[in-house]
Every structure is written in C-alpha cells, then in structure tokens.
Structure 1
C-alpha cells in the first residue's frame, strides 16, 4: 500500500542527489547559486519542520479524518482512479487559495514567510519549510473532507503536491515553452519568490499555474528585470527559531502598541507590511532596498568546514529521529526533538560568527560525548552497543576538540574589520 511515509522514504535520497547535481551544473556553468551558510539554514529549517511535524501530523490529519467521518454526507471510494485524480486537482486548487492567503493575510504570512526568507534560490530553498503552518493551514482543506475524499487520499495527494514543487526551486532550468503556460515550472516559481515590484505576490500555483491565469495572479519572468529573492523585511539571521517567530513577534509588538482596538485586530488580518498609522509613526522601519547586500556574516574557512561537518552529522541524527520517534514514548521523543532543535540553534549562532555559539556548541558536543560515554544510552535506547558508544563518544569528543582549536585560531588571527566570533 502507498503511504506518505513510504513516498517520503523514497524521496529524501533523491532530494540530496538532485541538490548535488544542481551544484555541479552551477559550477560547470560558472553560476554562483549556493552559499553554504544559507544552504545549511534552509536545510535546518526543513529539518525543524519535520521534527515539529512528528508531533503535529495527527493534528491536521485527525481533524480532517473526523470531519470526513462525521460531517461528509458520503465517502468516495479510495480504490477509484477518478477519486485520486479529482482529489489531486481539488487539493491543488485549495493549495492555490491557501498559498495566496498566505501572502495576503499577515497571520498566515507569519507561517509561510519562512519559505521565502532565503536570498538564494536553489533546491535547498524548496526544503525550507515552516514549523507553524499546522496551526491554521488545515482550514483550507476542509472542503475535501466535506466532499467525502478519504483521509488516505488527502494525505497522499498532499504529499504529491508538495514533492512536485521541489524541482521548481532552481535557476538551472530555463523556460519550458508550453509547459510554463499550464504547470508551475522553475521560471514561474522564480517570479513567485522575487521581491521586485513586477513579481510581488504572484504565481501561487502548486502543480498547475492555470489557477493563476484564471484568477488574475499570473506574471511571466522577465529577463530585463531578473528576480531578486528574499522578503521585503529581510531576516538577517541564521537562527532557525527566530526565522519561525520573527513575523509573529512583529505582529505582537504592533498589536500591543496600537492605540485603537480595531487596529490591534487588523494587524493580524491585514496584508503583510500593513501597520497602524500611529505605530508606524512612533516605531518607523527602514525602507526596503531591492539591491541590498545579501546577509552573509564572514567566518573563516575552518569554522565553515566545522559547521558543514556538524550539520551533516545532524542530518543523520535527524533521519534517525524521524525513523524512531513514532516508536518512542512521548518523553524520550520530546527529549530527542529538543536536543536536535538546540543543536540547530547553536549551529546558527556559529554561522553568524558569534562567540555564544562556541559555548553553546561546546556544551552540545562535549556534553553528548560525556553522557554517551558514561551512560551508554541514547534517546529511547536502553543500552547502546559498545562499538556504537565508543564511536559516538569519539565523534562528539573530537568535535569539541576541533571547535576549541578553531575558536582559538580565530581569536589569534581575526582582524579588526571582520566580526568573526566577536
């Protein structure tokens, strides 16, 4: 039986193969489309989204299943090809409207903004996903439940729609002729991610771009006005937790400072960027500059290599978490998730070249090595094999030593014009 878990298990290795292929093609063409710090941040946010999804997946699926079972007047047959085809088409239409409202309603933008924060555009951007979309996103798909589409159909077509959108996040594929007129394709989606006036808030389609043509939101990519990526309120951080809460925080502040009661509500439902006049006057924000410098704090090659290696190890742990979490009790699963989130948070500070990142990372690597060596335990595993215990303690111990050496070298050689670990 086809399940979302099985589809994702097949897809994840493919993601990294295609990312590697995109990187090779970009190098061959002499194109600069990747920054390691940005890629780590995007992949880390995707990992964070998957971690949150382990605990919230049943939230949306559970609500959908209840509505389909208790509110739908009939149940469509899950063994019908036409149910699957129509279900995918309906899902894609509902995705268009959720995506569109995600750009037009501030509280929905607060979740979706994570996907747009990268100032690069490559396949790692596709994996840059929100951790808070589960809060309200389920509302958009209730019509499917009320029309009787089975829960398993909903879950699979949702994943298909999501997976399709992976390949369109690239600058390595140009225009595709007739395909661009019917389907969401790289050219169409590059325009969607751009902050140029021409492209802003256009091309919402997931699989089909015809929804945008029908509802007046389509724009074609223009070579004379190449897309500039990111958001009009740049994140300026590699902190994955801040990336998920920055817009919520800004809305809370504006709502708190608004003097009029209705304005306190409007902050949440108005389009992104809207602010009460009195708040904007008292707490002005700088004007957006289209061609501003990309956020990329300078760190040494040694520290960058350390971060890449540690993130690769975190990815392996993340895959292990996704495999074992459904089998774990609530407490060890939560502890494992907190450990991974903390690790991504510490790595973000390191990528920003901040001294606090060194201490947070030393606590993680040194603490992990010590606890594994002494206890021989891992989250949910009562007793690790002795060889695994030695291997893990050695890897994390060497990580702590390597970081100390890198940080010591940085302090001795950093010049006054470069804010590395300062």
Structure 2
C-alpha cells in the first residue's frame, strides 16, 4: 500500500521504516531539511536498537524515501499518518499546534481528484481530536480554494511503543487499536497491518493472531491515555510500597515477586526505584487529568500518582543525606542519564531532577552514560562533568547513584571503582545491582525499599 508518514520522531520514523520493511511504499515527511538529508543517507537521527539496519535495508529496497514536500506526500499516500509531537503545556494540557499545522497542510493539499484517503492520528492526542482534525482538514481545503468535497476519513490508531524496543514492539504488539465510524477505513488499516496481525514479522510466529480492537474515535483515543495512566499508577504504587518497606524492614523485590504472581496483578511495571520519566507518562497523565477537569471531574488517583513520582526522585537525595549528612562540597557521581536504557532520550529524565537538587544543595555532580557521554548532548547538563568511562566517574566521588539500569552496568569493575572513591557509597535507585556482591567489593549499598 502507499503510505505517507508525517513527522519522523520516535513514533513516525519507526512506523514508516517498519511499514516499508513489510513491503509497503512509504514516504516520510519532515520539515527539517538537515534531518531529511541525514535519513536519506541511511542514518537514524535517534538511537533505537534495530532501527538503522531496518532503515538501511528498506532504503536499499526502494521502499522508503524521505522528503520535506508535504503536498507530494499527501498525493502519494492512500494512508496518511500524522505522527508529530504533542508536548505538554505549562497547565498540563496538550499542545496540539503541530497537529493543527499538519492537518491544515493536508487540507491544502487535498483536491476532489485526490481519491479516498485514510488520515491516521498516530500521535497521542486529546480525546475528541479525531473530529477536530477532520474539521481542520476541511477548513484547510476551503481556505485553499478546493472546497470541502474531498473523500477521506480520520482513524485513531494509537501507538504503544517503548523507547529502546520500538522496532520489536511494532512487529510484536499486544493489540492494534483502530478507531473510526467508517468500516471502509477500518478495512484499509487492517489490510495495512495484515502482516503484523498474522505474526509474519514476529519473533514468535506461532503465537495467535494479534487482537484488533475496532472501536469509535473517542474510545480509541481514551485507550491510549488509560493504558499509560494505568502503568504510571502501577509504578507509583510499587514505589509507595517500597517506601513503606524501607520503614518496616521489608524487601520490595520480594513483595513485587509475591504479588506479581497473582494473575490479576501481573509482574510487569512492579520494579520499584526512582520513578518514571520520559516523554509519555508525564505528558499523558497530565493530559488526562486536564481533560477530566475540563469536564468537571477531579482525577484524584492520577494526581496522587504524579505526586508520588515527584517525591520518589527527592527520596534519592534524602538517602544521600542519610549517609553523607551535609552534601555541600561533596562529589556525587551519576551512573546513567537517559530516562531508560537503550535510548538517548533525556526528556523528563529523573537524572535531571537529581542534578537540580544536588546543585541546589551545593554538591558537585559528575555523570557517565553509555550514550550521552559519547554523543556530545549537554542539554540540561551545564553544571555536570560528563565523564567518558566509569572509572573516571568514580574518581574522587563521595557517592554514586545508579540512575539508569543500562545492562552494561551489571558488569562494571565495581571493586576498582570503589578504590577511586573518597567514600565507596552507592545508592541503587533502580534496585538493579546485587546488594551482597556490592557489599563484598567494599561498597556501602543502599537500595529503594530493600
């Protein structure tokens, strides 16, 4: 099928490249010329495992191309994905100006001769945006002198990709959600995803076919928000349990294991630590709280979830104060900066909160991250000495904090690192390391709820 993907961030680029890998004819549109040239050369602008290889093979096969020409992309695609950013505004509502700009651009490019188009909201958008996007497209058509007679439908097809495993998640989804009132649009989307539905690209092709949730626009949009909000609540819940464990002498890892075996609860997202970060949870929970408020409802559980998450980051600083007392003049080393492993994404990373708090308290902050240390990225890191290896990080530190659970942090030479430190203290903010092993090599180990 002929596909146009507008926006080449984490969602748009992964979606476009994976659809091309399936054999579809894909054009990816972005208004950043330098980024387009980079992608044309086969280089990914984001760090995402498996993406560069999939991208290069799809380019070589002639299945994906990159352009700044929105009108040409609209003309090419029978299915048009809107995959631009929807960041939060200061009041917690969603900034939809990029969606609006793209919708107007699509409208200006549609004519009565364009043929039937399915326009897909892939971005996470506030409930009701499907009808709003349709209105904006029609306005764009009218403003460009093309009338309002083009034949199109809007479909909500939310993404459920995890940064660091987005390519895997595309080909191995738990479900595909399609929201539209028109069976024709739903049928075209099912045709587009048939290879994924049939597990032709799955890691385990013997699994049953992927469930397809066919529903209305508003419900599809709500499914995305409800899923992310529930996961955020689950993390905040286990962090509250961890904080109680710290006070009563329990081990939250054992508690998580025990409750996770209950089929009604499940063991995923029950890892206590420093809390959630990244671009999705904070934005989506805030947007859902704001939407509830617009309709006269106070979403108390969601508000508490956000509060607990903010407090969890501060608790790491409190643990440092418990062992080091005054932090002024001390040197603290952070192991990891990105909000999760296998990504270069620093958006709402817990490390940034730690840096701000430690700087405020007069501590000197050093950091090492497998990606950031090599990338030259310094946004939000002006007061941080970014080291190029773990030993340099440990040198002269009064404590280390493991912030991001990168797999390679399991196998560092911690005995050597302890020897470089003023005080061999480590706060394991992800409960990632073996407390006994760390104690055996000389560290004063402190976990979260252990």
TM-score normalized with structure 2 length: 0.25
TM-score normalized with structure 1 length: 0.27
- Which has the larger share of strand? 2
- Which has the larger share of helix? 1
Of structures 1 and 2, the one with the larger relative CO (CA 8 A, separation 6+) is 1
